[in-house]
């Protein structure tokens, strides 16, 4: 079984990979946006139970947040979340999503897209709501 740190890193990179496959290259770096979107996506993802260290955490969304903030400092990540002002840039390190998926894990790209889709939907809803409220 992979360590908690390795499980978090794989999910952070995998969700970034899924977002990139959906055409998303920049996401909000606001902590609440990241945590709420992850929490929503994690509850819906059919493969969440394959990462028990995240699932058993008191706050899985905070574990994900910590993984995102550590992403660009990891040695040799397949997918990095690079801080760029108010956003994170999803960096596939000059790979296509398919190539990155093969390098990341045995999990196929469509499963990472299945995690990224509800994440993106929730994130878009939160940003639109804030814009409508003038925040």
- Overall number of domains in the chain: 1
pLDDT of 37: 97
pTM value? 0.94
Q: How far apart are CA 17 and CA 83, in angstroms?
A: 16
Name the packing angle between helices 31-44 and 109-133 (round to 10°). Answer: 140
**Token output for 112:** 């990472």
Check pLDDT > 90 for residue 76. no
Residue 84, φ and ψ in degrees, nearest 5: -145, 80
DSSP state of 77: -
- For residue 121, the enclosing domain spans 4-133
pLDDT of 75: 86
């Amino acid at each position: 079984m992979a360590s908690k740190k390795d499980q978090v890193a794989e999910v952070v990179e995998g969700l970034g990979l899924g977002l990139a496959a959906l055409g998303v290259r920049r996401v909000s770096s606001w902590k609440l946006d990241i945590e709420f979107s992850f929490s929503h996506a994690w509850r819906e993802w059919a493969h969440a139970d394959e990462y028990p260290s995240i699932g058993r955490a008191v706050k899985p969304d905070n574990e994900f947040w910590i993984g995102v903030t550590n992403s660009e400092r990891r040695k040799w990540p397949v997918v990095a979340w690079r801080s760029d002002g108010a956003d994170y840039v999803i960096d596939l390190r000059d790979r296509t999503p398919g190539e990155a998926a093969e390098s990341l894990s045995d999990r196929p790209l469509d499963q990472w897209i299945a995690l990224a889709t509800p994440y993106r939907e929730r994130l878009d809803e939160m940003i639109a709501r804030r814009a409508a409220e003038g925040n």
